[in-house]
Amino acid sequence: MNHPKVLFVILVISFAFLSVFYSCSAQQQQKGFSMYPEITNRDKFFVDPLIFYEVDSLKARLDLYIEVPNDNIIFKKDINDEKYKSNISLIINIKNSVNENILTKTYNEYSAYNDKEMIKKSKESRYFFYNYFVEPGNYKIDIIIKDNNSKGEFKKSADLSVKDFNAQEISFSNLMILSKYKINEDGTKEITPLINNNIFGLKEFFVFFEIYNKNNDDITKEYIYKLKDNKDNIVKEDDLTYKLSPNKNQNVENIFLLKELKKYLPEEPDFDFFLYDNDQNIFFKIEIIDKSNNDLVATKKLAFVPKRLISEMHKKPPMR
């Protein structure tokens, strides 16, 4: 079975095009929204760590996707060339289950835009992609972003569980949520990861994943996917049948959900509804279940946050 080459839109074919920034003071943002500490801390930036399996090297691979909204970053205007410039450092720390540090990486990232470019860039985000080989086990990953212009610092942590792909005949990668998926005329595929995993306002989204078959022959497997809400109610489900060739099999599932999600929307969305009403603290999750034994083989939590709320949190003071 031949697998079309996958092109990562934001990170491979168009990385330069999508490397963009906002401008915002961390200190001023905290002053303006200190009453919403959980939301503001959460949305300084977004991280999606995903585990895949490298068939050629027989190793697990951590793909780390990071999205930084530009209005959380300070731009300083350089009087010499009249450009707005940002300067941030991304620090990645990975520790194993006994708290030993197994990896520390620092990446220094810069950008510079003129007045016209800045108008567009101020509405966008900047995207970063890093990958590392990891052994089976449990890990904690810390991601720190330092804004060297404002001296602000943001941090997020995530727990990682890396399974032993070599110990299973059939195994799944993590699930990657896509906002866009396109097949080109030459057969290549373009995918745009939805790093914040926020499905609010979407009429559809896509799920990309890989299935690894260690058998020497093709095998047919049947699964069920279930989209559930935060109360474990099934919002949508469907059968999935795959003919799996030996080694790696890439799959993309398209999920339409605009009609199903309408009932989760208040008549007039506001901060109180999404922040303080615990009964309405809505999120969703996708589950893929093996029909032969009812095992859960893959799952992913999805956010459900109004984009108006996010844009309100990222109000920009004047650029320096």
In the prediction, which pLDDT does 261 show? 86
In the prediction, which pLDDT does 246 show? 96
Q: Which residues of the chain have pLDDT under 50?
A: 1-41, 271-279, 309-320
In the prediction, which pLDDT does 42 show? 54
**Residues 219-264 pLDDT 10s:** 999 999 999 999 999 999 999 999 999 999 999 999 998 888 888 8
SS3 183: strand
Distance CA(197)–CA(175), nearest Å, equals 11
Residue 243: name the closest of 225, 219, 222 by CA: 219
Distance CA(199)–CA(197), nearest Å, equals 6
Strands 6-8 and 189-193 come out as: parallel
Distance CA(52)–CA(251), nearest Å, equals 13
**Sequential DSSP letters for 195-261:** TT-B-TT-SEEEEEEEEEE-SSS-EEEEEEEEEEETT--EEEEEEEEEEEPSEEEEEEEEEE-HHHH
In the prediction, which pLDDT does 270 show? 53
Dihedral sign, Cα of residue 286, residue 58, residue 192, residue 86: positive
What is the model's pTM?
Answer: 0.80
DSSP assigned state of 291: T
